[in-house]
Amino acid sequence: MWDNIILAMQSLRANKLRALLTMLGIIIGIGSVIAIETVGASLSGSITDSMSGFGISNISVSLTQKTGEDETSGIRVRMFRNTVPDADDLITEQMIEEYRAAFPNQVIAVEVTETAGSATVIGIDGEDVTATVTGVNDDYLAAEDVELLYGRGINNAKDAQRKVCVVADRFVTDVLGISPVNAVGRAVELTIGGKPQTFYIQGVYAYDEEDTGMTMVSVNSDDDDVVTSVYLPLNTARMLTGSSTAGVQSLTVVAANEVDTTAFLKTTQSWFESWYARNDSWTVEASSMESLVSTITEMIDTVSLAISAIAAISLLVGGIGVMNIMLVSITERTREIGTRKALGAPRTAIRVQFVVEAVVICLVGGGIGILLGMGLGAAASSLLGFSAKPDVQSIAMAVGFSMAIGVFFGYYPADKAAKLDPIEALRYE
Amino acid sequence: MTSTEKAAMPDALDRAFAAAKAIRKAETAVQPIIRMKDIRKSYYIGKPNELEILHGIDLTVHAGEFVAIVGESGSGKSTLMNLIGALDSPTSGSYQLDGVDVAAANDVELSEIRNRKIGFVFQTFNLIGRQSALKNVELPMLYAKIPAAKRTARARQLLDMVGMSDRIKHQPNELSGGQKQRVAIARAMANDPAILLADEPTGALDSATSRTVMDLFHQLHKQQGKTILLITHNPALAEECDRILTLVDGRIVSERKGGGSHVG
């Protein structure tokens, strides 16, 4: 076998250009499959990476209407079903407290927010400054890693419906034109929903440009258009929007790092569902960004698999090229085959020799293709900004596939060689 | 068998044993390397243009003989040589080579016979290109599945014997015609075959190199007792052999003794 491999290498070296041209199909095929896999991995990697800023493992729990198929809601009930949850349907403070108590180790924080919309203020330079106004519960600021610089955060028990707010340092300089150090206690007039209202600043937090948290959407990095968040006590925001104070329609659970999000998501959902077993029209649904991301990643994987399959067609073309060149090579070497037979080579030996030669061509081509694909993939993924490497599995598959092509497309020519009549072959000019 | 037992045996039986033993011994001694009986070879069998090339060849070659087969082109020389070399099977007749029935052998057995029993020397040398002289000589031993170390050692020894020990790493295109043929003879000797089958071995060589190649055959014949079958159309070369068979139109028409060699 080793002799056959050396022999195949020798004949490759003897016809370098021809060997290279023959391998080209294999090189392009394997190379593009590996490159596409790498780009796919890079894409899903960068998506996972950028999504992780949004609290990828957070579980959001929200009220949802029961569907008609549900056995607890018959047709009769559906006629009276509400499209908006009543006060009794909401997730109450009591439920949240019990939930926390039920999973003290898994739950780090439960975020409850009330979006009061956006507020505009006339800035120190006369231009409008826009901020989003959000009522938050006690957990929120800490859970979202909002870094308080001065004053204090939101304490709903104390602050209840008081008109106090926590603003960004940047907001202070833009609106009041003073140092954030002196901002605590100052009044600021926010126009929310067309109604100007006066709030007192009780805390200043550090605005983090890199923070891509959902409540702080910076539309673009242009200085004037920066939108910061203004945080209010939960009930203050509810008062502004006129929402019920009985409970919430949705909440976000921040789970501990070591918690398996997928499993805990199910646990959370069934825990809350138990409260809604007797409710005719409403129940809860838990979801997480992680499940969304995994859906996206799966989609990318499917797409790159599909593209790879198309690229694999060039492997087929490459295989046909190998077969063609093997047939030519066998015709050229008819006398050699005749001589080998005269010297006592059985058919199997001739067959093995040429199959090995075809496999060596394909493996060398496959090897070059893997290197090329890794190079292309690395270049493309560095453009995408998330470096990824093809996994060992796909490299092993590429190697196995090129071997299979060699055997498949090399067998027919090799068999033809093995079946040559030694007399004819020796006489061949 | 102890002497007492032997004494107890009837004399007649004793004599019978001795006679059988002698016959067996004689048979082994005269067992020819080649025994062909009424060999016929036809082409296009069963078709309108069926053609019989060999019309019943009887040929016996004994161990240690140097036999020449001469004939014009078209006499069936090549066909006969292919049959002797186990490259082809006869249409009818029996052929035993060194005790092996070649006529009945299948493809795998034929390749084994070619490998172990026959050493081919061709007119056009037929060395494998891009392979060193050493690798070429090793090739029949490779097919005989002889371990690599043993192969190389024997190949070196054979190349030394044909006077090519300083060219073992050379490839065929770096060798002259005479050198190529000497490597080819070394290769033919690789598995110590029962017979060397040389088909016009000097056909592509000038007279001086032809001489050295013929001398090499004589040397193998005289010193190692190799059985050699030389197929040629050159009467001068044939004269050097022990026995000359003339083939005309697929029949052996004459058989005579040759002059033998001047080489000691």
**3-class SS string, B162-229:** CCCHHHCCCCHHHCCHHHHHHHHHHHHCCCCCCEEEEECCCCCCCHHHHHHHHHHHHHHHHHHCCEEE
Lowest-confidence pick of A221-225, A370-374, B45-49: A221-225
- Candidate ranges A77-91, A390-404, B8-22; pick with highest mean pLDDT: A390-404
Closest residue in A to B125 (Cα–Cα): A339
Q: What is the pLDDT of residue A73?
A: 46
Inter-chain touch A341–B111, beta carbons under 8 Å: yes
Inter-chain touch A342–B114, beta carbons under 8 Å: yes
Inter-chain touch B139–A340, beta carbons under 8 Å: yes
Residue A186 has pLDDT above 50, yes or no: yes
Angle, alpha carbons B5-B6-B11 (nearest 5°): 130
Distance from CA of A49 to the nearest CA of B (A): 56
Q: Does B147 touch chain A (CB under 8 A)?
A: no
Q: Does B120 touch chain A (CB under 8 A)?
A: yes
Q: What is the pLDDT of residue A218?
A: 41
- Region A376-390: what's the mean pLDDT? 84
Q: Which of B83, B108, B111 to mutate to test the interface with A (most CBs of A within 10 A)?
A: B111
Select the more confidently predicted residue: B242 or A76: B242
- Distance, C-alpha A3 to centroid of its chain: 49
Residue with tokens 């020819």: B32
Distance from C-alpha of A211 to C-alpha of A55, rounded to nearest angstrom: 11
Inter-chain touch B142–A3, beta carbons under 8 Å: yes
**Spatial contact of B171 and B131, defined as CB atoms under 8 Å apart:** yes
Which residues have C-beta within 8 Å of that of residue A213, sequence separation ≥ 6? A53, A54, A55, A144
Residue B17 has pLDDT above 90, yes or no: no
Average pLDDT of chain A to the nearest whole number: 82
Inter-chain touch B111–A338, beta carbons under 8 Å: no
Q: Give the percent of chain B with pLDDT over 90.
A: 70
Closest residue in A to B188 (Cα–Cα): A343
- Candidate ranges A71-75, A124-128, B196-200; pick with highest mean pLDDT: B196-200
Distance from CA of A419 to the nearest CA of B (A): 10
Inter-chain touch A349–B126, beta carbons under 8 Å: no
Q: Which of A95, A111, A63, A108 is nearest to A261 (CA)?
A: A108
Q: What is the pLDDT of residue A243?
A: 78
Inter-chain touch A344–B143, beta carbons under 8 Å: yes
**Spatial contact of B140 and B151, defined as CB atoms under 8 Å apart:** no
Give the confidence band of B260 by pLDDT, cuts at 50, 70, 90. low
Select the more confidently predicted residue: A276 or B226: B226
Closest residue in A to B129 (Cα–Cα): A336
Which residues have C-beta within 8 Å of that of residue A51, sequence separation ≥ 6? A289, A292, A293
Residue with tokens 């995994």: A294
Structure tokens at B111: 């390749």
Which residues have C-beta within 8 Å of that of residue A276, sequence separation ≥ 6? A282, A283, A284
Q: Does B89 touch chain A (CB under 8 A)?
A: no
Which residues have C-beta within 8 Å of that of residue B90, sequence separation ≥ 6? B39, B40, B41, B54, B83, B103
Distance from C-alpha of A240 to C-alpha of A135, rounded to nearest angstrom: 10
Inter-chain touch B126–A339, beta carbons under 8 Å: yes
Lowest-confidence pick of A2-11, B138-147, B183-192: A2-11
Residue A386 has pLDDT above 60, yes or no: yes
- Region B131-145: what's the mean pLDDT? 93
Distance from CA of A22 to the nearest CA of B (A): 21
Q: What is the pLDDT of residue A52?
A: 64
Inter-chain touch A344–B108, beta carbons under 8 Å: no
Inter-chain touch B187–A336, beta carbons under 8 Å: no
ipTM entry = 0.86
Inter-chain touch B85–A426, beta carbons under 8 Å: no
Report how far apart, in Å, the C-alpha atoms of A223 and of each of A82, A226, A355 are: 45, 6, 67
Residue type, A65: Q
Distance from C-alpha of B192 to C-alpha of B115, rounded to nearest angstrom: 10
Q: What is the pTM of this model?
A: 0.69
Distance from C-alpha of B50 to C-alpha of B44, rounded to nearest angstrom: 5
Select the more confidently predicted residue: A216 or A359: A359
Of A10, A11, A343, the CB nearest to B114: A343
Inter-chain touch B128–A422, beta carbons under 8 Å: no
Q: Which of A2, A3, A343, A420 to mutate to test the interface with B (most CBs of B within 10 A)?
A: A343
Q: Does B171 touch chain A (CB under 8 A)?
A: no
pLDDT digits (tens, 9 = 90+) for B26-85: 555 568 899 999 999 999 888 888 899 999 999 999 999 999 999 988 888 889 999 999
Give the confidence band of A210 by pLDDT, cuts at 50, 70, 90. low
**Spatial contact of A124 and A132, defined as CB atoms under 8 Å apart:** no
Of B112, B126, B187, the CB nearest to A335: B126
